[in-house]
A and B are shown apart, each in its own frame.
Chain A
Amino acid sequence: MSEQQLLLEAHAVAKHFGGVKALHDVSLTIRRGEIYGLIGPNGAGKTTFFNCLTGLYRNEGGHFIFDGVRLQADAPHKAAAVGIARTFQNIRLFGNMTALENVMVGRHLRTRAGVVGAIIRNPATRAEEAGIARRAEELLHYVGIHARAHDYAKHLSYGDQRRLEIARALATEPKLLALDEPAAGMNGTETEALRVLVEGICRDGVTVLLIEHDVKLVMGLCGRVAVLDYGEKICEDVPAVVQKDARVVEAYLGGSVA
């Protein structure tokens, strides 16, 4: 596999809370343009891995190489700046801002205007502001909630909030979009629509890292899957192989997938 094909390499990432080992030397590689699934039972360390990757936690051991460069993500905004965007397991939107404004905040990173521009409203600032609004609207269209653009985020339905969070993440122009259980709490129809959306995002050139409980969704969507159990990676392969892996079946799938 050539170096250019790899977007993210995690090398022996370790993290513990007090005496509890949450991540134990987890290594994995994500290729450009794929949808990569990260699954595992509750408390297996999936979200902890996410938080280390996105700079919310500092990992005690190991490191990440993102896009060929060693990640110095000791702060979330730096991770976003190099091109890693994320959503949260328990949706974190700006509730008292409209859907459009939420996505406009996502454009912060890729725009420049400062205080002086805001006050004098020179042509450059106005053009940038218009660009931000235009791009935000496009993204709302893209995820299919443009009709709700001017509603407060807190008033959106659960499924729409998930979509809005994805739109906001996409606004930062990520190379890697990390989704933390996006299908949690969705019904069958909503999950199917989400599947179509994620496939579209991937087709449009954004690599996706997906943490999911919904095994069926992961198996149908992901090119490759890694399984975490008690903070260790126990398997990494294409879904068909993972599904048959004895350790995985024992640890997680058990009887839930026949």
Chain B
Amino acid sequence: MDTLLQQLINGLTLGAVYALVALGYTMVYGIIGLINFAHGEVVMIGTMVAFTVIVSLAGSGMPPLLVLGIGLLVSVVVCMVLGWALERVAYRPLRHAPRLTPLITAIGMSIVLQNVAMIIWGRNYITFPPMIHKQIYDIGGASFTNVQVAIVSLAAVVMLGLIYLVHRTRIGMAMRATAQNPHVASLMGVDINRVIAMAFIIGSALGAVAGCMVGSYYEIAHYQMGFMLGLKAFTAAVLGGIGNLAGAMAGGLLLGVIEALGAGYIGDLTGDILGSHYQDIFAFIVLIIVLIFRPSGLFGERTGDRA
């Protein structure tokens, strides 16, 4: 079996998920400069909601694809409401507070959401019922599944939709203007509150999609799954240049590939001293290296101090 190709395929799948989650971080950061720590938890809630819907409809005799679709839709709607509520209740009152204040709030919300999820869905891993008959395809010695194809293509469609939204619609224009300069944007008649709320809502919707993907890819979910996922997605956003949408997408894909390759080859590289359970450190090592040599990310613009 060709490991390189295989790892590339796996990395691409994972990267598509990271990219979607990273977009949520980058949109919020680009507009209000907040690391929305709770975003990983929103993704987790998305997975959990989809799980509940799918499980409860699984025996209803509906076609599996329809069940999956409903699960995805409900999950997206729930997460949009959650994202909106988070901004409205937790962050908006703190917009002019010291910089650390909203960050602590975000950490607090993250803890709250995790534990609410634990109370609702329990502390054990939950297994996704297999809704799609998994098909395995072979190319050049590597294999991929129809689930992977679905994940990558859905991610591509969603990202294209986002690009259209940001560059071709009024609200997208307002978002870009606010990201450039909130004060001027508000003078030009942009409703800043609405723009910020939209960033949270759209980001959460993308997160829900990503959550459903993770769930159907690994077929398990856990109330703590959002943390590592969120952390890596944030790393991906920084990697691509935080605040930069295209950067988040590229950063996500890149991180997925790096991680997969790293996990695949770390044993060979270190003479089996380090094994694949070190997979999680790649993201951070890459992050630190990138920040040292390209502080504004791979695709970010250099921003200088201003007098």
The answer to whether A and B touch in the complex, with CB atoms under 8 Å apart, is yes
A116–chain B nearest beta-carbon distance, Å: 29
Contact partner, B305, options A47, A50, A56, A89, Cβ 8 Å? A56
Q: Check B307 for interface membership: any CB of A closer than 8 A.
A: yes
Query: A243 an interface residue at 8 Å Cβ cutoff?
Result: no
Interfacial chain B residues near A89, Cβ < 8 Å: 307
B156-198 residues at the A interface, CB under 8 angstroms: none
Q: Mark A5-49, 1 if CB is under 8 A from B, else 0.
A: 000000000000000000000000000000000000000000100
Name which residue of chain B comes closest to A50, CB basis.
Answer: B307
Whole-angstrom CA separation of A88 from B305 in the bound complex: 14
Q: Is B304 close to A, CB under 8 A?
A: yes
Judged by a CB distance under 8 angstroms, whether A94 is at the interface is: no
In whole angstroms, what is the CA distance A47 to B307 when docked? 9
The size bracket of the interface on A is under 10
Residues on A with C-beta less than 8 A from B307 are 47, 50-51, 56, 88-89
Give the chain B neighbours of A50 by CB distance below 8 A.
Answer: 307
Q: Is A57 an interface residue (CB 8 A)?
A: yes
Residues on A with C-beta less than 8 A from B305 are 56
Give Cα distance in the complex from A46 to B305, angstroms. Answer: 17
| Residues of B contacting A: mostly | loop
Which residues from B are CB-within-8-Å of A88?
A: 307
Residues of B within 8 A of A56 (CB): 305, 307
Tell me the bound Cα distance from A50 to B307 in angstroms. 10
Q: Which B residues are in CB contact (< 8 Å) with A57? A: 304
A51-B306 Cα distance, complex, nearest whole Å: 9
> Closest residue to A90 on the B side, CB-wise?
B307
Chain A residue nearest to B305 (CB atoms) is A56
Binary CB contact string for chain B from 288 to 304 against chain A (1 if under 8 A, 0 otherwise): 00000000000000001
Smallest CB–CB gap between B306 and chain A, Å? 8
Looking at the assembled complex, report how far the CB atom of B295 sits from the nearest CB atom of chain A, in whole angstroms: 15
- Chain B residue contacts of A51, Cβ below 8 A: 307
Give Cα A51 to B305, complex, Å.
Answer: 10
* Bound-state Cα–Cα, A57 to B304, Å: 8
> Bound state CA distance, A59 and B151, in angstroms?
49
Q: How far is the CA of A33 from the CA of B304 in the complex (A)?
A: 33
Q: In chain A between 68 and 94, which residues have their CB closer than 8 angstroms to a CB of chain B?
A: 88-89
Bound-complex Cα distance A51 to B304 (A): 12
A56 to B304: give the CA distance in the assembly, Å. 9
B181 nearest CB across to chain A (Å):
16
| Bound: A56/B307 CA distance, A | 7
Q: How far is the CA of A196 from the CA of B240 in the complex (A)?
A: 54
> Distance in Å from the Cβ of A44 to the closest Cβ of chain B?
16
Chain A residues positioned under 8 Å from B304 (CB to CB): 57
* Measured CA separation A89–B305 after assembly (Å): 15
Interface positions, chain B 223-264, Cβ under 8 Å from A, are none
In the bound complex, what is the Cα–Cα distance between A50 and B305 (angstroms)?
A: 14
The answer for the CA separation of A47 and B304 in the assembled complex, in Å, is: 15
The complex places the Cα of A8 from the Cα of B118 at a distance, in Å, of: 68
For the complex, give the distance between the alpha carbons of A56 and B305 in Å.
7
Contact with A along B16-56 (1 / 0, CB 8 A): 00000000000000000000000000000000000000000
> 1/0 per residue B279-291: CB within 8 Å of A?
0000000000000
Residues of B within 8 A of A47 (CB): 307
* Smallest beta-carbon distance B198→chain A, Å: 29
| Shortest CB distance A62–B (Å) | 18
Closest Cβ–Cβ distance, residue B117 to chain A (whole Å): 41
A88 to B306 alpha-carbon distance, docked (Å):
11
Residues 122-163 of A, flagged 1 when their CB comes within 8 A of B and 0 if not, give: 000000000000000000000000000000000000000000
B124, chain A: closest CB distance, angstroms:
49
Residue of A nearest to B304 (CB): A57
Interface 0/1 of B204-234, CB less than 8 Å to A: 0000000000000000000000000000000
Residue of A47, A56, A88 most packed against chain B (CB within 10 A): A56
Instruction: Tell me, rounded to whole Å, the shortest Cβ–Cβ distance linking A50 to chain B.
Output: 8
Bound together, the chains give a CA A179 to CA B74 distance in angstroms of: 62
Q: How far is the CB of B235 from chain A (nearest CB, A)?
A: 29
A50 and B306 CA atoms in complex are apart in Å by 12
CB distance from B136 to the nearest CB of A (A): 51
* Contact code string A81-121 (vs B, CB < 8 Å = 1, else 0): 00000001100000000000000000000000000000000
State in angstroms the CA–CA spacing of A89 and B306 once bound together: 12
Residue of B nearest to A92 (CB): B307
Residue of chain B at shortest CB distance from A58? B304
A-B contact pairs, 8 of them (CB 8 A): A47-B307, A50-B307, A51-B307, A56-B305, A56-B307, A57-B304, A88-B307, A89-B307
- The 5 closest A-B CB pairs, nearest first, are A51-B307, A56-B307, A88-B307, A56-B305, A47-B307
Q: Name B residues whose Cβ lies closer than 8 Å to a Cβ of A.
A: 304-305, 307
Given contacts A56-B305, A88-B307, 6 further A-B contacts (CB under 8 A): A47-B307, A50-B307, A51-B307, A56-B307, A57-B304, A89-B307
